[in-house]
Amino acid sequence: MLSFENVGLRYGMGVEVVGDLNFSIEPQSFQFLTGPSGAGKTTILRLMLLSLRPTRGTIHIFGEDASKLDKDMITGFRRRIGVVFQDFRLLDHLTTYENVALPLRVMGRDETDYRAEVVELLDWVGLGERKNALPAVLSGGEKQRAAIARALIVRPELLLADEPTGNVDPVIAKRLLRLFVELHKSGTAIVIATHDLALMDQFGYARRLVVGDGRLAIFDAESA
């Protein structure tokens, strides 16, 4: 589904932010991307999302060499990827409902087609009563849940989540993780960037990609 071969990235003439990245994300796999703050987790997620071009190495995504993709193909692939940003990236002038429905709206789908689906997901993530609220009046946890719902609404083949439970209380965190598990069971490959050891310990069967000093070490999953 996604593979990195000797991938490295530097900004301008600076030192490499990340380098020698060799790993692949298999379909229906579950992995954590972990490491200390500033180690390069978000950079690797952005490389996976094709929002950064590597300065060396090759990225293959859904069987295609990413360096040879045109913009329309990249757009097509992004529709198969759900992404949860650490800073949520909700659009401030849109309601929670509109933010969550955004990926379906940009695909040109009719609003009446997906309304029930979006409302159901909002209820599931506990935002059923906040459908018409703007992000400015949502708490950090509510914004995070809205961002997760937006990533899940397209039933992505690959979900990239950057610290998805960083701003929510343990009860909501558990609920959200159940959502990721459900999604994983339904066939989605999951990559969660986190430095929350307690969270990772709940998923002993998940692979761990540990990034430190811009390099990556892979710890395969324990037997489930």
When the beta carbons of 61 and 207 are compared against another protein, the nearer one is 61
Instruction: Report the candidate in 60, 21, 29, 37 with the shortest Cα–Cα distance to residue 190.
Output: 29
The nearest distance, CB 27 to another protein, in angstroms, is: 18
Pairing of strands 158-162, 189-193: parallel
Which residues in 27-60 are b (16+ Cβ under 10 Å) and which e? eebbbbbbbeeebbbbbbbbbbbbebebeebebe
Residue 212 CB, nearest distance to another protein (Å)? 27
Closest by Cα among 46, 76, 51 to 63: 76
Are the C-beta atoms of residues 60 and 3 closer than 8 Å to each other?
yes
Cβ atoms 101, 114 nearer than 8 A: yes
Q: Which positions touch another protein (CB under 8 A)? A: 49-53, 71-72, 74-76, 78-79, 83, 89, 91, 93-95, 97-98, 101-103, 105-108, 111, 115-117, 119-121, 123-124, 128, 131-132, 150, 152-155, 179, 182, 186
Minimum CB–partner distance for residue 54 and another protein (Å): 12
Minimal distance, residue 220 CB to another protein, in Å = 29
Cβ closest to another protein, residue 115 vs residue 169:
115
**Residue with Cβ nearer another protein (26 or 178):** 178
Minimum CB–partner distance for residue 26 and another protein (Å): 22
State which residue, 106 or 217, has the beta carbon closest to another protein: 106
